[in-house]
Structure 1
Amino acid sequence: MTDICIASNKQTSQKQLKVFIYCDYQNAKLNLEQAKLLLVFAKSKGRLIGKNIYYNSQCKNQAAGKNNLDSVGYTCFDVPCPLKNSADNQLIADCLEDIHSNISPDIVILISGDGDFVKLVHNLQKLGKQVIIFAQVGNVKQKLKELADKFYFIDKLSELVENNTQFKTTSLDAKINYNEAIECLTKAITTTLSQGKRTEFCYIDKLMRQHCVNYQGFSSIHTPDGKKFKSFGQFVDAAVRDAKVQRQGQELFLIELDKLAA
């Protein structure tokens, strides 16, 4: 299978989202076919700017398996160290460096079910990045699965790619007006409170992305004067000023009706 059928529908006039793949090969060993399908999936999300695989050559099964992945264009980083989390730490360091560079991706695709990446995912989402996670069945931490903006099992890649209707490329030109964004925000807060979870910025932003088709992060919100917000926090501050929601630190709450009546 090639990515031609998916990529041909992209609007070249639009500025595409930048996508970066980071694979923890020790935790999730992609075979050659899965690696190819992952590239198709990533390109359907935007412009693929990087595809890194991290492994430890001191483990023979990792060194042998990664050789096939070189052939389809992945950049493989050997972290030959006896420490258990050495490859994980290198992946995290590289990802954070990329995020704060001039190639900063909009979407991070993480291939791992390792709970060591929970903090990384949380930090990426606080920066307004979308995180898509793939993991192997039976080898994923529940916290990581819940935190992902989107989560899939690796063995479902074939079905995902074949179902082209899921892969309409998201553009940075996607728009949602301010009032629609406020409505989406309040619904996300209501849902989170009903789940008994903390209404932190990163989780609310995640729900908004999931439940509102046109919301693709704070930069997709357009105010009546045509300006864009520079951060999710700036959008929240505007909602607070307009008495749409309340804020306590990094948590959000709905305006109580009795207070408004008073």
Structure 2
Amino acid sequence: MAEISKPFGGQDVAVFIDFENIYISVLAEYDVNPDFEAIIEKSEDYGRVSVAQAYADWTPYSHYINALHAYEIDPIYVPAYHYGEGGKQKGGAIKNSVDMFLCINAMKMLYSHPNIQTFVLITGDRDFVPLVKTIREFGKRCIVIGVAGAASSHLAQAADEFFFYHQITDNLKPPEKERVKARDPFDTLAEAVRIARQRGYVATLASLKLLMTELLGEFDQSKYKDGRGKPIQKFKDFVKEAERRGKVKLFSTGTVNEVFLPNEDPQKLSRFAEEVLPTEPTLEPEEATEEEEKTEAELELTPEQWRLFVGAMSQVEGAAPFVRVFDVVRGLRNQGLIDLSNREVKTMIIKAIHMNLLTRSNRGRGRRTLYQLTADPNVLGQYMDLPRMAPSRDVPTMDTASAVEMRVQSAPGEPAAGEPIEPTAGLQLQFASEDVITGERMSTAGSGSHTREPSDAQFVA
């Protein structure tokens, strides 16, 4: 029988699996366990799989080790790090080194195994974008497989090919809640914008094209025609055609293209509009310009908006420049917590300065003006339920926790980091849903494992 022709002449393939990323994402989206057989079969489309490795802290996933070995996937042990004192774990796992170990081993293979022409990464983590770019710079092919709703658009765009997990399996479909009923591609684009909003993504062209593939199963803009009956060659032209039909609105800041729904105001919602901020605000009322006085007098802010302002600024450690304060407050707008334009955000900050909610000081490089939430409880008490004192630098916070000793919670006899794990006798070779789908597993803190966000989101932009 003639051998089936494979890309790259049937040359070797290396598969690297970010186990925790794919496990948690598949479980959350589809309520099933990952199908590693389907992953290996898809990888074999590009040649012979000569190396397959899965990286994780295997303490909570030990029942998967035998199953991975059945598909000739080597589980590589990577410990999770915890904040704690006296060997006691505090707050669950906060960070592991999976990304680092996986990248190091992939780079070693890139140099030492010239026979490997294709690298397959099973992850949706944006942190792997530099690795993908490096693999391609060396003339190798890089394939990425991620889960719908948990994959970074930056990662998908960097790869030679990107597949959603449900596309490589026979028994899965896109999540019912996000399946588009209207099959018109331009209506689907508008639906993709709505989904991007729900997930907290920036609706850039790259993220929307990925969502189109997720919603339609496959997407190629050249299959559709513009108003003149000509095939659409670029995705941006596809978006322009959708805009011409009144489905969406394309907005550009000169550097970034964003897509909005027809009834949305890009100037108010864009994360990139007016990125070049105006000059420092006038601090004394008598020195304010006529335009500033008019804008400040017209803007009425609710107690809830001021409470959110105080809460956001209380998370800023130390004094910060005006640009940083502006960014913090605009972040509330981007999260949908306050409905203010960029100009109104600036006016809110000016009001806070005049109301003594923000204090200023001239220090730092170049003696620039810095701003900080007031430490006066009498002032803060007007905008919060209870008087609030300034945070003490002696109390550890999430930002200062790096000063706390980090300890590796490893039980005696565990393998060293980066070493393969041998099969465990007596474990069943099956994926029993009742063994893993528990309330504890579904909680990011319950299992003691660390869940990384998809960044962009994570399409997190």
The corresponding residue for 1:54 is: 55
**How far apart are 1:159 and its partner, in Å?**
4.7
Counterparts of 1:1-262 in structure 2, within 5 Å, are: 8-10=3-5, 15-29=9-23, 34-58=35-59, 60=60, 62-82=61-81, 84-159=95-170
Residues 217-253 of structure 1: CA deviation (Å, up to 9, x unaligned) = xxxxxxxxxxxxxxxxxxxxxxxxxxxxxxxxxxxxx
**How far apart are 1:41 and its partner, in Å?**
1.5
CA contact (8 A) 2:78 2:96 kept: no
The corresponding residue for 1:175 is: none
**How far apart are 1:63 and its partner, in Å?**
3.0
**TM superposition score normalised by structure 1:** 0.53
Q: What is the number of residues matched between the two proteins?
A: 160
The corresponding residue for 2:448 is: none
Alpha-carbon distance between aligned partners in 2 of 1:142 and 1:193, rounded to the nearest angstrom: 16
Residues 143-176 of structure 1: CA deviation (Å, up to 9, x unaligned) = 111111111111221259xxxxxxxxxxxxxxxx
Aligned CA distance change for structure 1 residues 44 and 66 (closer, same or farther; 3 Å): same
Residues 152-209 of structure 1: CA deviation (Å, up to 9, x unaligned) = 111221259xxxxxxxxxxxxxxxxxxxxxxxxxxxxx97999999xxxxxxxxxxxx
**How far apart are 1:72 and its partner, in Å?**
1.9
Percent sequence identity is: 23
CA contact (8 A) 2:56 2:77 kept: yes
Aligned CA distance change for structure 1 residues 35 and 8 (closer, same or farther; 3 Å): farther
CA contact (8 A) 2:125 2:152 kept: yes
Alpha-carbon distance between aligned partners in 2 of 1:194 and 1:97, rounded to the nearest angstrom: 41
Q: Amino acid of the residue matched to residue 80 of structure 1? A: P
**How far apart are 1:65 and its partner, in Å?**
3.4
Alpha-carbon distance between aligned partners in 1 of 2:54 and 2:98, rounded to the nearest angstrom: 9
**How far apart are 1:15 and its partner, in Å?**
4.5
The corresponding residue for 2:314 is: none
Alpha-carbon distance between aligned partners in 2 of 1:158 and 1:51, rounded to the nearest angstrom: 19
The corresponding residue for 1:173 is: none
Greater RCO, CA 8 A, separation 6+: 2
CA contact (8 A) 2:11 2:115 kept: no
CA contact (8 A) 2:55 2:78 kept: yes
**How far apart are 1:115 and its partner, in Å?**
0.9
Q: Amino acid of the residue matched to residue 69 of structure 2? A: D
Larger Rg: 2
**How far apart are 1:77 and its partner, in Å?**
0.4
Residues 27-55 of structure 1: CA deviation (Å, up to 9, x unaligned) = 11277772111222222211211111101
Aligned CA distance change for structure 1 residues 68 and 102 (closer, same or farther; 3 Å): closer
Aligned CA distance change for structure 1 residues 136 and 42 (closer, same or farther; 3 Å): same
**More displaced stretch, 90-99 vs 120-129:** 120-129
**TM superposition score normalised by structure 2:** 0.31
Aligned CA distance change for structure 1 residues 111 and 104 (closer, same or farther; 3 Å): same
CA contact (8 A) 2:11 2:117 kept: yes
